[in-house]
Structure 1
Amino acid sequence: MVAQNLTLLTDLYELTMMQGYYKSGENESVIFDVFYRSNPSGSGYAIACGLEQVIDYIKNLSFSYDDIDYLRGLGIFDEDFLEYLAGYHFTGDIYAIPEGTVVFPKEPLLKVIAPIMEAQLVETAILNIINHQSLIATKASRVCYAANGDGVMEFGLRRAQGPDAGTLGARAAVIGGCVGTSNVLAGQLFDVPVLGTHAHSWIMSFKDEYTAFKTYAKMYPDACTLLVDTYDTLNSGVPNAIRVFKEMREEGIHSKSYGIRLDSGDLAYISKKARKMLDDAGFEDAVIAASSDLDEYLINSLKTQGATISSWGVGTNLITSADCPAFGGVYKLAALKPADTDEFIPKIKISENPIKITNPGNKTVYRIYDKETGKIKADLICLVGETYNEEEDLLIFDPVYTWKKSIIKGGTYTIREIIEPVFIKGQCVYESPTTMEIRNYCQKELDTLWDETRRLVNPKEVYVDLSKPLFDLRNELLDAKK
């Protein structure tokens, strides 16, 4: 993807705070965490997504002459601060959980360690990128789970909230499990499969439905999926499609992929009737695809009803995550290092709402797997530097309901750190995989979830616990505020 300079993609208060820090001489190193508080769409997990675009953003972070002139024109920034911005570049560290990883509430998806002026500036854009793509990747994974192995195509570009949301959303949807997208620009930028058939207008532009089908089949014999619901699905559309398929067979044309698409009506009833008609005509391998305002719940319902659909085109409800339009990720200060010391001082945000109380300090995340099944048992948020021996018993406990405890016997689990370095001292040390490589990784990640966590309704929660040192630090800071 061609990198964009998104330096001014920020909230004004980030820049006014930066000027305040600059004028007061305060530019201590800080640690900010990106995390979210609850899973979207009632899910039992989320999918981390958007890191590649964050990397592009950081690499291209600089104020152009036009940017400085625009800020000068606002009349609120002094010339010495504008001179500082003219030479700005990111010099800090960024750590993140790789794209395609299953993640859970409260754990840091991304961590920025940098002088406070630099860390403050990048807040808005990082949240914008991570929140959007993580939301769509999560929604796509749920839709694909409901499809239960059938191919899901992302078809939502025309309903997305703008070109960027449609294109980057298509990328996220493929990472979440979609087999391809209708978005040709996304196909070009991210090297993902592009898919599609034809519209009702194609049928209506010909003298009759049969002629429209026959013309399309001649042009695209290897991928011939015919939209059969323009006029009368069962009495006209399907019979005309069968007629064309018979003619193709008689001419010795063997399509790599062929079938029909349904875009309206009672999809369960019509698909079963259409399946019988196709089978009776000798086209048992013809695909029945469906679209029409689908989401994970409707797909699950249709499959429960015995619908004979094996390919799903999902648009509006996927690309907009219609039932949950925002991911809710936040960017919170976790530690500060004064100029006269080499150590970070942990910081905590306190709220009357317990879910908004933050976890302090420089943290990382360990993921604990059941050794026999490879499934996730829990995540453990720890302070950087903590180590664990897989041969020793491990005590984990709920950080709120501390009486909820579990001892994982040594030798029965494996553990790995899931946060990786991305930028060190302003230099990128991470190489992003391709979108399709991330998709493959994401499928393996989803396989580490128990079925109970993946179910669409009332999923089982994955435990995200605090290590004992982090738990004690958090309580110490809470007690100090009383």
Structure 2
Amino acid sequence: MRLYIARENEILSGEATDIYFKRTVDVIKKSNKDKRVRMEFHAYSLPYDWAVFAGLEEALTILGGKNVDVYAVPEGTIFRPKQPLMVIEGDYTEFGELETAILGVLRHSTSIATKAARIKLAAGNKSVLFFGLRALHPAIQPMADRAAYIGGVDGVAGNLSEKYLGIKPVGTMPHALMLVFGDPEEAWKAFDEYVEEEVPRIVLVDTFCDERMEALKAAKLLREKLRGVRLDTPGSRRGNMRAIVEEVRWTLDLHGFKNVQIIVSGGLNEEKIRELRDLVDAFGVGTSIAFPKSVDISADIVEVYENGKWTPRSKRGKWPGFKQLYRCNVNEDYVVPWNDEPPKCRDGTKPKAMLRKVMENGRLLIEPPSIEEIRKYVLEQLNEIEDKV
């Protein structure tokens, strides 16, 4: 019996890879055909109009100590199809076996961060909490929490998030608490008695009875201590969820509990959140963020150094040559050959070069930004973006 997970040393050493990369490196070495190349990471198509680039810190960790230079856009950058996100420059055999691991890191983190950003946009000024770890292998819980937080969620539930990310986890109770007690009021009283005071008193109110009645019972029991009630009604019992929330809100207000917030969780996506956001104070979102549509980042050689110069070269369907991404604002970008002058922005100003050298000979040239800084960067871009949905 064992857990089927790759160890960190197996990832960093290149053992966690597709076998064809190991065979390719072996053939190139034995043929004395190794060459310095530039490999570009990009997504030529997206499931949405835009995506959020995430996973860069882990990708650079994998490349650390290798004799390579790396250029990249900042982690958290919103991007669109065919834009260069990262470029590795070095002898192919130095990093070829790492392609699988790097792509896995970038694709998975970017996919989660992108969906989190879209959910956050749908929620408007209401809070979004990530409750999706039960949909994932436990070995990657910190990664998923990090990617979701970068994408803009306001809190994550993973117990390990404080250890790995410096983020205090959020969340109060599952239905199991009420089921074990057999009486929701007894369960709520015990929670209030034994859980630390700084944890907000937010209770589930859909375990045994009607949501309206359980919400009112909780409010009368905990009075001013009650921060909010959470509705996690299963799909088989929901019917019209908006009508249920309206009924709970009306009843709480009617009895003088206007301060009690309503949190909704379970089976939420962007459309459902938009339907409820004017009534709901916060959303708990799980599977739709944890298992989003894939942002298919790929890696392709675009230049090869031979005969004393860099030669543009790529497979069919991909644009050859080393490129720079220039940004005027999140809605106006230009991709040009690396040494070409960028076009002026529509307002006449000079655009910003987005790719910068972040690693030289395997040594970091930058101080990786904190998770809070990356999240702030994403939220600033979301505020500016025009094609929001």
| TM-score above 0.5, yes or no | yes
* Residue 230 (structure 2) aligns with: 261
AA matched with 2:271: Y
AA matched with 2:318: T
Q: Which stretch of the first structure deviates more once superposed, 230-239 or 423-432?
A: 230-239
* Residue 29 (structure 2) aligns with: 22
1:200 lines up with 2:175 in the alignment = yes
Q: Tell me if the contact between 1:367 and 1:415 (Cα under 8 Å) persists in the aligned partners.
A: yes
Deviation string 1:131-162 (CA, Å, 9 cap, x unpaired) is 000000000011111111111010011112x1
Q: Tell me if the contact between 1:34 and 1:332 (Cα under 8 Å) persists in the aligned partners.
A: yes
Deviation string 1:89-125 (CA, Å, 9 cap, x unpaired) is 5101111111111011111111010001124222111
Gaps of 5+ in 2: 1-6
- For residues 257 and 372 of structure 2, the distance between their equivalents in structure 1, rounded to whole angstroms, comes to 32
SS in 1 for 2:90: strand
AA matched with 1:366: Y
Deviation string 1:350-401 (CA, Å, 9 cap, x unpaired) is 2xxxxxx1111111110123xxxxxx342211122223475xxx6xxxxxxx
Shift of residue 279, structure 1, vs aligned partner = 1.5
Q: Classify 1:312/1:116 alpha carbon distance in 2 versus 1 (closer, same or farther; 3 Å).
A: same
* Residue 288 (structure 1) aligns with: 262
Q: Tell me if the contact between 1:258 and 1:287 (Cα under 8 Å) persists in the aligned partners.
A: yes
Q: Classify 1:332/1:284 alpha carbon distance in 2 versus 1 (closer, same or farther; 3 Å).
A: same
- For residues 314 and 377 of structure 1, the distance between their equivalents in structure 2, rounded to whole angstroms, comes to 28
Q: Which one of 110, 132, 136 corresponds to residue 112 of structure 2?
A: 136
- For residues 301 and 277 of structure 1, the distance between their equivalents in structure 2, rounded to whole angstroms, comes to 20
Q: Tell me if the contact between 2:54 and 2:109 (Cα under 8 Å) persists in the aligned partners.
A: yes
Q: Tell me if the contact between 2:327 and 2:351 (Cα under 8 Å) persists in the aligned partners.
A: yes
Q: Classify 1:153/1:409 alpha carbon distance in 2 versus 1 (closer, same or farther; 3 Å).
A: closer
Q: Which one of 189, 204, 217 corresponds to residue 164 of structure 2?
A: 189
- For residues 427 and 440 of structure 1, the distance between their equivalents in structure 2, rounded to whole angstroms, comes to 26
* Residue 332 (structure 1) aligns with: 300
Deviation string 1:160-186 (CA, Å, 9 cap, x unpaired) is 2x1244331111000001111111113
1:239 lines up with 2:205 in the alignment = no
1:314 lines up with 2:285 in the alignment = yes
SS in 1 for 2:87: strand
* Residue 95 (structure 1) aligns with: 71
Deviation string 1:432-459 (CA, Å, 9 cap, x unpaired) is 1111221111111222311xx112xxxx
Q: Tell me if the contact between 1:179 and 1:193 (Cα under 8 Å) persists in the aligned partners.
A: no
- For residues 311 and 217 of structure 2, the distance between their equivalents in structure 1, rounded to whole angstroms, comes to 73
SS in 1 for 2:141: helix
Shift of residue 218, structure 1, vs aligned partner = 2.6
SS in 1 for 2:181: coil
Q: Which one of 431, 435, 440 corresponds to residue 376 of structure 2?
A: 440
* Residue 319 (structure 2) aligns with: 359
* Residue 4 (structure 2) aligns with: none
Q: Tell me if the contact between 1:32 and 1:119 (Cα under 8 Å) persists in the aligned partners.
A: no
- For residues 262 and 379 of structure 1, the distance between their equivalents in structure 2, rounded to whole angstroms, comes to 42
SS in 2 for 1:141: helix
Deviation string 1:299-336 (CA, Å, 9 cap, x unpaired) is 12334xx5x21110001121111xx2x22111111010
Q: Which one of 12, 17, 36 corresponds to residue 10 of structure 1?
A: 17
Shift of residue 200, structure 1, vs aligned partner = 1.2
AA matched with 2:385: L
- For residues 52 and 269 of structure 2, the distance between their equivalents in structure 1, rounded to whole angstroms, comes to 18
- For residues 267 and 280 of structure 1, the distance between their equivalents in structure 2, rounded to whole angstroms, comes to 20
Q: Which one of 98, 104, 111 corresponds to residue 122 of structure 1?
A: 98
Q: Classify 1:227/1:46 alpha carbon distance in 2 versus 1 (closer, same or farther; 3 Å).
A: same
Q: CA RMSD in A?
A: 1.9
* Bigger Rg, structure 1 or 2: 1
1:38 lines up with 2:45 in the alignment = yes
Q: Which one of 113, 123, 133 corresponds to residue 89 of structure 2?
A: 113
TM-score (norm: length of structure 2): 0.91
- For residues 84 and 388 of structure 2, the distance between their equivalents in structure 1, rounded to whole angstroms, comes to 21
Deviation string 1:33-91 (CA, Å, 9 cap, x unpaired) is 11112222xx22100000111122122xxxxxxxxxxxxxxxxxxxxxxxxxxxxx510
* Residue 210 (structure 1) aligns with: 185
1:48 lines up with 2:53 in the alignment = yes
